[in-house]
Amino acid sequence: MKGPRETDFAYQAVYRYLTCVIGEIASDARVRLPSLRHLAERLNVSISTIQYAYSLLEKEGRVYSVAKSGYYALPAPAISTHYSGNDLLESVYINTRRPGMLVLSSDEPALLQPIDSPLLLQERELLRQYPRQLQPNSQPCGELELRMALAARYTTSPVRCWHADDVYIGADLRGVLEILIGVLCLRDATVVVESPCDWVILRLFQAAGVRVIEWPLRANGRLHHERLKKLLESEPVRLVMVSSGLNMPRGSQAPDDDRQAVAQLLGRYDCWVLENDCYGELGFEVPGLRFRDLLAPQRLIIFSTFEKIIGPEAPYGYLLSRHLSAEWQRHFLLRAFRLSAIRQKAIARLYGNGRIDQHLQLLRRRLNDSKMQMTNLLCERMGDALQFVEPEGGATVWVRSLRRVDVRQVFQRLLKHQVVIAPGELFSLQGLHTQHLRLSHSFGSDHDLATALDLLGDALRRESID
């Protein structure tokens, strides 16, 4: 990998290598590409470097990923074909990566305000300070400097404090959550999750044999603590997953008194509490109370990812836990994540010098502007067809059809016009949210958005089943 150009970063060389591999594919059928681990070993680079190169190719529509299977290349003659399988989520993934699609299904807030230039500049500076032979595997739970930065960021008092030894960093959020399932022995156990819930988490629990019970939010976004109480009384609940601030995909935030009531309730039961902090930094206003401000740390685990605020250049996932340290360390060591030490150090420096906070201010401002643009258009063009939750953060809008419609047929109709939406049923394992959609407001031009919403309105009218 040191041959092409000395000024290249490793992911650029990997990207060119994969481009050549894809170009050599002669078949019109989909072709499975090497796994992250296999390619990392072959090219002698970190898994995160391979992952970043693959993510660039995904955004160009040259490869796509299939859960629990890997990455696939579609040669140019086949790239325009429609997926004909029955898995709705796989259809969303594949069609999102087709060239020329208007993607209203994505949730990539960081792409609206990239921070890749400061990150790469920091890496260049660090490469002058540290030798090339710096061992990426010497710290299986993540680079100490970044773990220290995260511990400091989550510490709010002498009681609610975190240390570097409480922080564990993995190659991506999926890998970290897979370790969590193993450490907490969640296979065949009962887990309660807020609903709607991120499809990545739902599918991961489902694949691991976790029994998932959905805890629907009220229509106004408030937490239904009486329903949670009944579940805790009647079911052998091992873990309850709650949103740190924003519930995504709704984009709503429960009021402080709801959180206090739920925290008091959880304190009376012997179960783990898992706080989802992936969107905790993306609220438009100053956040209220977090569950970590209200719960004793003995049964609390926090997880998050850098990807939502930094982008695909930082795909790492991480968790914070003050207990089970021997088990966490053993599982992270067994997983043997190969993480770029330099990139982790660069992220830590961006936290330390305040660049992340500056970036977040700009990102939140731009997300709020694009949210207002989207909601104004929804009111103007589809006020009689859709009802939406006013987002309090994030890059998406959660909408409900006022007419009874077959959302799957709406999805298929829009594909013919090269528009991809995210049907609400993807955010449930129990058939909830079938009249809902998640729409991205952080993409494209004004003209593209207006055109896509006109097509959506037409599809909703045509697929009405009242």
State the DSSP string of 399-466: EEESS-B-HHHHHHHHHTTTEE-EEGGGG-SSS--TTEEEEE-SSS-HHHHHHHHHHHHHHHHHTB--
- Contact present, 252 and 246 (Cβ < 8 Å): yes
Per-residue pLDDT of the chain in tens (466 residues, 90 and over written 9):
434 433 345 777 787 788 778 776 655 567 888 888 888 888 888 787 888 788 778 766 678 887 777 888 865 444 444 555 678 998 998 888 777 788 899 899 998 888 888 888 898 888 888 765 545 556 889 999 999 999 999 999 888 899 999 999 999 999 999 999 999 999 999 999 999 999 999 999 999 999 999 999 998 889 999 999 999 999 999 999 999 989 999 999 999 999 999 999 999 998 999 999 999 999 999 888 999 999 988 889 999 999 999 988 898 999 999 999 999 999 999 988 878 888 999 999 999 999 999 999 999 999 999 999 999 999 998 888 999 989 999 999 999 999 999 999 999 999 999 899 999 999 999 999 999 999 999 865 555 788 889 899 999 999 988 6
pLDDT, position 358: 96
Give residue 62's Cα distance to chain centre. 21
Burial 283-322 (b: 16+ CB within 10 A, else e): bbeebebbbbbbbebebbbbbbbbbbbbbbbbbbbbbbbe
**Bond prior to 131 in cis (omega within 30° of 0):** no
* Token couple for 78: 């086949």
- Cα 254 to Cα 257: distance, rounded to the nearest angstrom: 8
- What pLDDT shows up at residue 29? 62
Other CB atoms within 10 A of residue 430 CB: 12
The model carries a pTM of 0.83
Structure tokens at 466: 């009242």
β-sheet bridge partners, residue 379: none
pLDDT at 81: 41
pLDDT value of position 78: 43
What ranges make up the beta strands (E) of 63-166? Answer: 63-66, 70-73, 102-103
Q: Which amino acid appears at position 262 of this protein?
A: V
Distances (CA, A) of 76 to 4, 16, 79, 201, 416: 26, 17, 5, 32, 19
**Cβ–Cβ < 8 Å for 101, 420:** yes
Q: Rounded to an integer, what distance in angstroms lies between the CA atom of residue 181 and that of residue 167?
A: 17
Q: Which two tokens stand for residue 357?
A: 């906070």
Q: Are strands 167-170 and 317-321 parallel, antiparallel or unpaired?
A: antiparallel
The pLDDT value given to residue 20? 77
Per-residue model confidence (pLDDT) at position 187? 95
Instruction: Copy the structure tokens of residue 151.
Output: 């511990």
CA 95 centroid distance within chain: 19
Give the pLDDT score at 137. Answer: 52
Q: What is each CA distance from 66 to 23, 87, 314, 367, 461, in whole angstroms?
A: 20, 11, 21, 29, 32
Closest CA to 428 of 200, 192, 199: 199
DSSP string, 181-231: HHHTT-TT-EEEEEES--HHHHHHHHHTT-EEEEEEPPTTS---HHHHHHH
CB 34 within 8 Å of CB 57: no
pLDDT at 80: 44
- Alpha carbon distance 387, 244 (integer Å): 25
**Among 448, 466, 166, 440, residue whose Cα is nearest residue 329:** 166
- Rounded Cα distance, 63 and 57, in Å: 6
Cβ partners under 8 Å of residue 115, min gap 6:
310, 311, 350, 355, 356, 359
- C-alpha closest to that of 269 among 242, 295, 290: 295
State the Cα torsion 279-280-281-284 to the nearest 10°.
Answer: 90
Q: Which domains does the chain have, with CATH numbers?
A: 1-79 (1.10.10.10), 118-353 (3.40.640.10), 360-462 (3.90.1150.10)
Report how far Cα 380 is from the mean position of its chain's Cα atoms.
Answer: 30
